[in-house]
Structures are given as structure tokens and as C-alpha cells.
Structure 1
Amino acid sequence: MLNVWVWGLFLPLIFRGYNPGTESKAPKIYTVEIREMKFVPAEIRVNKGDTIVWVNRDMVAHNVTEEKSKAWASPLLPVGKSWKMVASKNSAYFCSLHPVMKGRIAVQ
């Protein structure tokens, strides 16, 4: 009887929070290339917590700046340099040096 009581007490603790359909996925890394005065791809769909890396493969320096409130911005990215950020919410962004360059992050 004591054995059943012990298992009844500890078994739920062992399996607490385990739900086979809801395992969290490991964060992923996505790359956006800056080339020919464009962000490629121009729109990227990621999960919250994923990392986005912008790599400047163009012939001039660029940056990456959140468009609406300038909530975040990269430093100046010379040719061949990169910058990364962990995605937390939907954002439109642009290059403040070349405002025609625009991109969008869609966070799921």
C-alpha cells in the first residue's frame, strides 16, 4: 500500500509538464544577404528567438535599421562584414544610408 502511495506522489512530478506535442524547437539561424542595393530575401519568416544574420555582399557599406521607431540598428557594415540579431517581433527595416532598401521580418 505504501509503495502505491509513493508512486502516486512521485509519478506526476516525474512527468510534470511533459506533453509530447509541445516540445520547443531549437532556435534557428537565418541569413539575409545585402547585395545589389537590396536585402535578399526582402521578407523573412522566423520564429521568436531565431537569429537573423545580415551579411554585406555589396560594393558599398550599409546598415540595418528598424523603420518605424528606430528601436534597433546595426553599426555601419563595411563590405564583407555581418551583424546579427535575435528576432522578437514583426519589424520593417531599411538601410538608413540608402532608404530605398527595405526588408521585413515576420515573427511567428
Structure 2
Amino acid sequence: MSATRYLEIAERLSAELAECARGTRVASEAEIARRFGVGRVAARAAVQELERRFVVRRTQGSGTFVNRRIDYVISRSVPPSWSATIAAAGATPRALVKSVRPRTSPR
């Protein structure tokens, strides 16, 4: 096997996944290995490469899913809004409050 075979697999998968909707489940590493006739290590490396490129996101215990990169644009004509940017990309904006500490107002 060529040392760059996983990159060839990543390129083919990336082209195929570009046609899929965000959130579509991606084949497992074992299925990718069988399909391309490579070992599981090469299939894992290909999926990891796609994750580095933000083509997929992996969720432990759930699987691998098609992802879309979201560019946060700030310009004179577009006011900065994280929520609006996320919604425009077709995702659901959400935030998690980690902690709250009451403070007194300065005089």
C-alpha cells in the first residue's frame, strides 16, 4: 500500500460527502476499509484527515457525520452575530452557560 493511499481515499470520500446533507451519517471505518480494499488503519487515517479538514465530525458512541465549515464573516455591511452566522449556515445556534457568578455593580 502506498503511504499516501489514505489521502486518495480521503479525497474520494470528500468529493462524495460534498453532495450529502449536513448531519448525514458516514460509513464506518470497517466499511470504508472493505470498500477501498485497505486495512482499518488506512481507513481510520482517511477519516481523521476528513475530520482535520472539517468535512466530518466524530461523536464518540454515535458515529461520524457530514459537517460543514462555517465561516464567521465580519464586514462593514454585516454586523457580527454568532447566532445569525450559525443559523444562516443551516445549523441551530446554542450556547452552554458553564457558570454564573453574581457581582455587585460598581458605583
TM-score interval for Structure 1 and Structure 2 normalised by the shorter chain? under 0.3
Identify, as 1 or 2, the structure richer in strand: 1
TM-score of the superposition, structure 2-length normalised? 0.24
* Larger radius of gyration between Structure 1 and Structure 2: 1
Identify, as 1 or 2, the structure richer in helix: 2
Quick one: higher RCO (CA 8 Å, sep 6+), 1 or 2? 1
